[in-house]
Chains A and B, each alone.
Chain A
């Protein structure tokens, strides 16, 4: 079974045509994990027994001639900040080192119902804070395209698992780019849905006004299949919304206008990134779509706005982790004399440096005397950034930008200067602030490349109007079919 060329679509065809069983394919993926993951480090834990049991159920249904959906038997990797009942959920942090989830996230329940299979939980920056997965408390994940380089973050484990054929698809979460940036760095597709399109119930919260769960996969077509299962209104997430949209035909797509915001095509772009994104623009133009220059004037303020609002929400969301709830913390000295002291000891041992930095920054911007100068100000500028997009979307339907200013960087390159690390998210952050759907697509598909001299991948980003995932998914699928 050649899993190197498999997609979710091809898997489903093979499964229903009885060319192979789900059990065989899942075993092949575990063989590949055994072979490669010691080096790559994508997974924090594996759930092999449950996966094989689920595969048997799918195979039984196929053997009986029952109709099985597009995701039945599909082996997925799940980022370790999403809850699967009975499985660990560490969020990449020592403070949850011994935590096992007591319920399923809504996206997990939906995928289970669709017959999907969870191979294991993937590595991530601690509490999703980071752009390289170097902030994981447990291990490094290496970029399968170049093992001396980072896979991106915070969903680095998920991106690497898909890129290295250790899963057929994955779930990640994206608050400031954490699906799209690792997808771009590893050469896979990554979609951040519209805020509210996918339920956050069972996702360990980072910044509640920005977080979204989304798929990573080899193709846009595959990502769309996963998205269609996980999306929808959920009783347990009051910010979730029901919506429907249809895939667009080529003739409908040709009438769409694509905008290129000048603020994203700037001096700091690595030359190879610029070259390849220009290539993507030319290909889309050749599909017949009109390309138009636009301006999103408040783009440069997005980083500041994000690094005020997000840490504020983080400081609130991480207040619950005290080393008593969820999981005890290993290595905390005994002989404590007050509850406050116990909390301080547990939290100081349990949290890593970046988590502490952002908690303190968040506490600062919310504190009396500073709230107006920072948090209140950031909320206003966030409104201006959203307004920029609303204005632009009067003239264009889809916005195209680079995903990252550079390709995957080397380990340790940005770990000394937090600000340098933060700058790798400048192109992804605005879509989170405005709540818009955005997808990262590899300019050159690794599946169609002749891998003689594999080079570092480059991704391009399509941003759509609120709840218009169909626009960006349809255009993405047309692009990859060229």
Chain B
């Protein structure tokens, strides 16, 4: 029965930049255990030779030369939208 143990859960939370409280950790372990258990049904399939579907479209990527760009004119709107700024610089809480 697959499960995510507490240490793994804490590691995943760290990777995802989330901080879980004890009660959340217990609930998530239980929920995720049930969900992973449900996924076991996929093991019944023989998929060794199946070509995976890697996205939603069957379009192929098309490339162009660098330089042919549409200029972005939204800088001022973005600056105005930022909650706090000083002399054109965007203010955030101290992180050092």
Report which A residues bind B (CB closer than 8 A): 98, 100, 102-103, 195-196, 208-210, 235, 238-239, 241, 298, 300-301, 303-305, 307-308, 315, 319, 322, 324, 327-328, 334, 336-345, 347-348, 351, 353, 356-357, 359-361, 363-364, 367, 374, 376-384, 386, 417-419, 435
Contact = CB atoms under 8 A, between A and B. Distances in A.
B50 A380 contact: yes
Contact of B95 (A208, A342, A356, A359): A342
Given A102-B81, A241-B57, A417-B34, 20 more contacts: A102-B77, A319-B17, A336-B94, A347-B16, A347-B19, A348-B20, A357-B32, A360-B12, A364-B8, A367-B15, A377-B42, A379-B54, A380-B47, A381-B50, A383-B51, A386-B53, A418-B31, A418-B35, A419-B35, A435-B56
B1 interface: no
Interface in B23-42: 24, 27-28, 31-32, 34-35, 38-39, 41-42
Interface in B62-83: 70, 74, 77-78, 81, 83
Contacts of B35: 307, 361, 418-419
17 contacts: A102-B81, A209-B55, A209-B56, A241-B59, A336-B94, A337-B96, A342-B93, A344-B19, A353-B24, A361-B32, A367-B15, A379-B52, A380-B47, A380-B52, A381-B45, A381-B47, A382-B52
Contact of A367 (B12, B77, B94): B12
B57 A195 contact: yes
Contacts of B55: 208-209, 239
Nearest to B78: A102
A33 B34 CA distance: 41
Contacts of A324: 92
| Top-6 shortest CB links A-B | A209-B56, A379-B52, A380-B50, A383-B53, A343-B17, A344-B19
A360 B18 contact: yes
B32 A364 contact: yes
A238 B83 CA distance: 32
Contacts of A374: 39
- Output the residue of B32, B38, B39, B61 with the most chain A CB within 10 A: B39
B50 to A, nearest CB: 4
Q: How large is the interface on B (under 10, 10 to 19, 20 to 34, 35 or more residues)?
A: 35 or more
A319 B19 CA distance: 14
B53 A304 contact: no
Given A102-B78, A304-B42, A377-B47, A359 B57 contact: no
A378 B19 CA distance: 28
Given A196-B57, A209-B55, A380-B50, A419 B38 contact: yes
Given A328-B83, A348-B18, A419-B34, A102 B74 contact: yes
A381 B17 contact: no
Contacts of B95: 336-339, 341-342
Contacts of A367: 12, 15
A239 B54 CA distance: 13
A435 to B, nearest CB: 5
B91 to A, nearest CB: 10
B32 A378 contact: no
> B17, B18, B24, B27: which has the most chain A beta carbons within 10 Å?
B17
Contacts of B34: 417-419
A196 B56 contact: yes
A304 to B, nearest CB: 5
B5 to A, nearest CB: 12
A429 B15 CA distance: 28
B16 A360 contact: yes
Nearest to B45: A381
Nearest to A338: B95
Given A342-B95, A380-B50, A360 B56 contact: no
B65 to A, nearest CB: 16
A208 B59 CA distance: 14
B53 A239 contact: no
B86 to A, nearest CB: 15
Contact of A239 (B32, B39, B56): B56
A341 B95 CA distance: 8
B8 to A, nearest CB: 8
A239 B57 contact: yes
A305 B20 CA distance: 26
Contacts of A382: 52-53
Contacts of B16: 315, 319, 347, 359-360, 363
A384 B50 contact: yes
